[in-house]
Amino acid sequence: MSEEAKAYVAGIFDRAAGDYEQVGVDFFGPVGARLALHAQPGERVLDVGCGRGASLFPAAERVGPTGFVHGVDLAPGMVREAGAELERRGVTNARVTLGDAESLDFPDESFDAVQSGLVIFFVPDMPQAAREIARVLRPGGRLALATFAEDREEDQTLQATLRNLLTPYLPPPPPTA
Ligand SMILES: C[S@@+](CC[C@H](N)C(=O)[O-])C[C@H]1O[C@@H](n2cnc3c(N)ncnc32)[C@H](O)[C@@H]1O
């Protein structure tokens, strides 16, 4: 079930990757920039579900040349687009690879901070993602998360905006016999 759910989510974001952030909404950028404010010069930061890099690019700027940001995303299209943008901007202290929040392909205690913007609610096994994040963080490391608060009207509007935005990329319904 979990693998099926993840394939479904990866498919949506793979199809959305080409248009993502070019569709007339401007909350990914501001949310990403705010999320990255935790990052300090010289730190090793992991961006889980980095998408096209809304928080990865500002974090790379903040950690500077002595730090490093590694972005992982489940959708190959996002990895491709973010990688191309890294190259286009000439960013050398960040990279993006395919990866799953539930099974992070990094050694224990390899990051000073993990950040993840508007991702966690797409992960079928959130406790497993939390365990993986804790595992790759050094003792005393930090987690910065951006998610929606159910009791804030503004957040509900943002959540509805994200849902509407993704609707065109849902898989077509199965053919009826
Ligand atoms: C709403 S987008 C946010 C992207 C980016 N963090 C931003 O703020 O623009 C959610 C992203 O999470 C990724 N994602 C969903 N489930 C994931 C998982 N299990 N592991 C890694 N990435 C995942 C999607 O492919 C998508 O790129």
- pLDDT single digits (tens) 51-82: 999 999 999 999 999 999 999 999 999 999 99
Classify residue 176: in a domain, yes or no. no
- Residue 90 CA, ligand 1 centroid: distance in Å: 23
**Phi and psi (nearest 5°) for 104?**
-80, 130
* CATH number of the domain within which 148 lies: 3.40.50.150
- Using the atom order of ligand 1, give the atom closest to the CA of residue 13: 25
Tell me how far the alpha carbon of residue 50 lies from the centroid of ligand 1, in angstroms: 6
Distance (Å) of CA 177 to CA 172, 173, 174: 15, 12, 9
Integer-rounded Cα radius of gyration of the chain? 16
Could you tell me if residue 124 is inside a domain?
yes
**Any domain includes 174:** no
Reported as a pLDDT band with limits 50, 70 and 90, residue 45 is: very high
Predicted local distance difference test score (pLDDT) of residue 21: 64
The helix or strand, by DSSP H or E, that contains position 145, with its residue range, turns out to be: strand 137-146
Our mutation pick for probing the ligand 1 site, out of 8, 31, 73, counting the most ligand atoms within 8 A of Cβ, is 73
Q: Say if 177 falls within a structural domain.
A: no
Parent domain of 74: 2-169
How many independent structural domains does the chain possess?
Answer: 1
Q: Is residue 142 part of a domain?
A: yes
To test ligand 1's pocket by mutation, which of 2, 6, 13, 115 has the most ligand atoms within 8 angstroms of CB? 13
pLDDT digits (tens, 9 = 90+) for 165-176: 888 889 887 777
Is position 148 within any domain? yes
Let me know if residue 99 belongs to a domain. yes
